[in-house]
Structure 1
C-alpha cells in the first residue's frame, strides 16, 4: 500500500502542475464545450466539413482539404482527387440514407465520411452507402470516423471496403498541421486550436506533453509499474464502490416511494447502469439507464421476443413525453422510447455524485416523466 500511495502522490503532483499551467494560460477555455458541442455528430460534421470545403469561409481554399488527404497518406486510395474543383455537403440525402459528409470532385470521384461520435450504427448503414457510392465511376472511398478509431458493426460494414479513422489521432494530427497552414489567418488559426483542445478533452488527451513525459518516466520504474498494475486491476471496482456509497441508498428509497424495484447493474467511468421494475410490469417492461455505442441513454424498454408494447400505446407515451418537453422521436424494437444524456467524467463523478445529488436528481426527474407518460397505459 505504501508503494501505491507513493505513486499516487507523485502523479498527483504532476497532474496539479498541469492544471496550474492550463489555468495560467487559459487552456481550459473552450467555446466548443461551452456551446455543448460534445456529442452532437451533426455539429462535428458541420465543423469538419467547413474546414474541408475549398469554398469555405476560412479563405484557405483547398489547402486544408489537401492537408487532410496528405495526412491519410497511403491509406487514401483515390488517385488524383481534384481538391481545387471539389465541393462538400453535409447530411446529404440519398435513397440509401443521409450521408454525414460527402466530398465530390469534378472527375466523378467521391469521399464519404460516416461520423460516429457516440451513436450506434444503423441497419446495414455502410452497405447502403457503398451501394450509393458505386455511382461514382471514377473512384470513391468510405471513411468511418469515431473518437478512437473503432470499426463499424458487422451488420453495417461486413464485406465493405472502408477505412476506420479517429478523432484521437487522424483528425487531431490533421488539424495540428492546419494550424501552421492558417498561421497568417489568426481567427481561423485560433478557432482550429480551440477545436483541437476540445477534441483532446473528448479523447482524454488534455495534458501538456512535458507533463505526460514526466508521468511516463515515473511509471517506468519497476516498483511503480507494479503499483500501477494493482491500481489498474481495481480501477473499475472503485466506481461501483462510489455508487454503492453515494447513490444506491438514495435511489432505492426513491424507487420505494414510486412503487418500483431498483436494480443496480454496474458502473464505469463514463456511466452508471441500472433499471427499475414493478410487479405489474414484470416480464414485460422496465425503465432502463444504460450505455451502448459509447453513449449513455435511458428510456422505456421491453424484450420484443417476449412482449412488445402496442403501437397505440407507443404513440400515447410519445405524445405525453413531448408535452413534458422530452424528445421522444427515438425508438427501436427493444426501446419503445429512449433518449441520450451526457456521459459521466471524473469531474462529474466528483461534483455531481460524491459532493452533491445533481446526477441523482437528474435521474429522478427523468424517471418521473417516464412514469407520468405511462399513466393510463394498460400493460
Structure 2
C-alpha cells in the first residue's frame, strides 16, 4: 500500500503540473470542439486547408501559404529515387479549390467523376488531395481523379492521400463489372514509381485496367508542420494567427500530440517502473465505477423518497437499460413515470444517461399526443419517452465526470439530473398546449 500511495502521489503531481499548463495556455478551449465540428472533413478540415491554399482566399496573403505547402511537400519527398517534381503554382485556373464536383456520380465508362476534396491547378500542373479522417474509402477514388486530371492534358498531376497518420491506400481495388467487362484498378505508392511506370507501359491501351500513383501525407506530421510554418508568417495578422493556433491545437488533439498526451507519456514512464502496483490500481477501476454508480443512484432514491415518490430500482443493473423509475404520488393513476436511465444498447456501460417521462404500454395515442405538446424543443421524444440528456451523459471513461459523480449531492451531475426531474414534473402539470 505504501508503494501504491507513492505511485498515486507521483501521478497526481504530474497530472496537476500538466493541468496547470493547459489552464494557463487555454489549450482545452477549442472553437471547433465547442461547435462539435472537430471531425468534419468537409466544413472544417477541407474548408480551412482549401482557403489557405487559395491565393485569392479571404486571408488576403496571396500565394504565401500555398508556396509553404509546396515547400513542405518538396522537402518531404526529396530523395533522388522518390523526388517529387511539384513546382510553385502560377495563376490558378479555378478558384474553386474545396469540394469541386467533376461529375454527378461516377462515370464507369471512363472510370472518372465524383467530387474532389481539394484541387489546385494552373496551366502546368494539378494537385489533388483526398482528405480522409474517418470516412471510408470510395471505390477507385484516386484512380477516378487521376483519370480526370489526364483528360485536362496537364503536364504533371500529383495525387495526395491525406489521413490522420499517413496510412497507405489499399493497393488493389475490388474488380468492378461494367457492361460485362471487368474493370481492374491498382494504386501505386510513390516509392513504387518504377513499378508504376512499367505497369502503365505494359497495359497501355487497355481500357479496363486503371491505375494511379499517389503520395500518402498525414495531419500528424505534414498538415501540422505546414500550419506551424504558416503561423511564422502571421505575427502581424492576429485574427489569422489565432485561427491557425486553434486549428493547430485541433490537429494535435486528433493526432494525440496535446499536453494531455504528453502527460500520459510521463505517467506511463512511472507506471512502467511499478507494473504490479499499476495493475492493482487498474483492476480496481471498474469496481470503483460500480461503487460510485450505486452511490449516485442511492442519492437519487433518497431525494425521491423525501418527495414521496415510489421508486422502482429493479433495473439498477440490467443488460440494456439500467437506472431508476420514479412515480410521483400524484401520478399513481397516470400512464407514465419518470426514468433516470443509462441506454447501453451500444454495449458500453455508463453511457447515454437521460432523464425521461416514460410512457406505459397502456397509454392511448390521444394521451401521448397531448402530453407531448407540453414539452419544448429542448426535449426529444419517440414512441416510448420524452427525454432530456444532462451535460454529463457519457461517464464511460471520463475521469472528470466520475470525479464529479463522486461528489454525490454536491456534484454538478446530481444537481442537473434533479433539475430535469423537477422540470418534467412542472411541465406535466402545466395546462395543455392549444
Query: What TM-score, normalized by structure 2, do the two folds share?
Result: 0.52
Q: Determine the C-alpha separation between the residues in 2 that align with 1:8 and 1:134.
A: 61
Deviates most, 174-183 or 143-152: 143-152
Q: Determine the C-alpha separation between the residues in 1 that align with 2:395 and 2:216.
A: 25
| Corresponding position: 1:79 with 2:81 | no
Q: Aligned residue for 1:104?
A: 121
Contact kept in structure 2, 1:71 and 1:174, CA below 8 Å: yes
Deviates most, 191-200 or 148-157: 148-157
Q: Determine the C-alpha separation between the residues in 1 that align with 2:158 and 2:290.
A: 45
Q: Aligned residue for 1:159?
A: 187
| Corresponding position: 1:148 with 2:194 | no
Contact kept in structure 2, 1:68 and 1:174, CA below 8 Å: yes
Q: Determine the C-alpha separation between the residues in 2 that align with 1:237 and 1:118.
A: 33
Q: Determine the C-alpha separation between the residues in 2 that align with 1:127 and 1:233.
A: 52
Note the aligned Cα RMSD (angstroms).
Answer: 4.6
Matches within 5 A, 1:78-227: 78-86=84-92, 87=95, 89-95=97-103, 96-107=113-124, 109-136=125-152, 137-154=154-171, 155=173, 158-160=186-188, 161-207=213-259, 212=262, 224-227=271-274
Contact kept in structure 1, 2:14 and 2:266, CA below 8 Å: no
Contact kept in structure 1, 2:54 and 2:66, CA below 8 Å: yes
Q: Aligned residue for 2:47?
A: 46
Q: Aligned residue for 2:70?
A: 69
Contact kept in structure 1, 2:131 and 2:163, CA below 8 Å: yes
Q: CA deviation at 1:231?
A: 5.4
Q: CA deviation at 1:93?
A: 1.1
How far does the alpha carbon of each residue in 1:77-104 deviate from its partner, in whole angstroms, 9 at most, with x for none? 6535333423451111124211111111
Contact kept in structure 1, 2:321 and 2:345, CA below 8 Å: no
Contact kept in structure 1, 2:395 and 2:401, CA below 8 Å: no
Q: Determine the C-alpha separation between the residues in 2 that align with 1:345 and 1:124.
A: 40
Q: CA deviation at 1:181?
A: 1.0
Three-state SS of the structure 2 residue aligned to 1:85 is coil
Contact kept in structure 2, 1:14 and 1:215, CA below 8 Å: no
- Matched residues, number: 281
Matches within 5 A, 1:23-38: 23-38=23-38
Q: CA deviation at 1:188?
A: 0.9
Q: CA deviation at 1:250?
A: 4.8
Structure 1: any 5+ residue segments left out of the alignment? 273-323, 327-343, 358-379
Q: Determine the C-alpha separation between the residues in 1 that align with 2:347 and 2:321.
A: 19
Q: CA deviation at 1:13?
A: 1.8
Seen in structure 2, the aligned counterparts of structure 1 residues 244 and 147 have a Cα distance that, compared at 3 Å, is farther
Q: Which has the larger radius of gyration?
A: 2
Contact kept in structure 1, 2:70 and 2:88, CA below 8 Å: no
How far does the alpha carbon of each residue in 1:169-208 deviate from its partner, in whole angstroms, 9 at most, with x for none? 2111111111111112121111111111122222222218
Q: Determine the C-alpha separation between the residues in 2 that align with 1:25 and 1:120.
A: 35
Contact kept in structure 2, 1:51 and 1:64, CA below 8 Å: yes
How far does the alpha carbon of each residue in 1:248-285 deviate from its partner, in whole angstroms, 9 at most, with x for none? 93552469x9xxxx9988769xx99xxxxxxxxxxxxx
Structure 2: any 5+ residue segments left out of the alignment? 104-112, 175-184, 189-212, 295-315, 326-342, 353-379, 383-393, 406-412, 415-434
Seen in structure 2, the aligned counterparts of structure 1 residues 14 and 91 have a Cα distance that, compared at 3 Å, is same
Contact kept in structure 2, 1:101 and 1:114, CA below 8 Å: yes
Q: Aligned residue for 1:60?
A: 61
Q: Aligned residue for 1:300?
A: none
Seen in structure 2, the aligned counterparts of structure 1 residues 65 and 234 have a Cα distance that, compared at 3 Å, is farther
Three-state SS of the structure 2 residue aligned to 1:173 is helix
Q: Determine the C-alpha separation between the residues in 1 that align with 2:398 and 2:266.
A: 29
Q: Aligned residue for 1:249?
A: 317
How far does the alpha carbon of each residue in 1:327-359 deviate from its partner, in whole angstroms, 9 at most, with x for none? xxxxxxxxxxxxxxxxx89875753999469xx
Q: CA deviation at 1:4?
A: 6.1
Q: Determine the C-alpha separation between the residues in 2 that align with 1:171 and 1:112.
A: 15
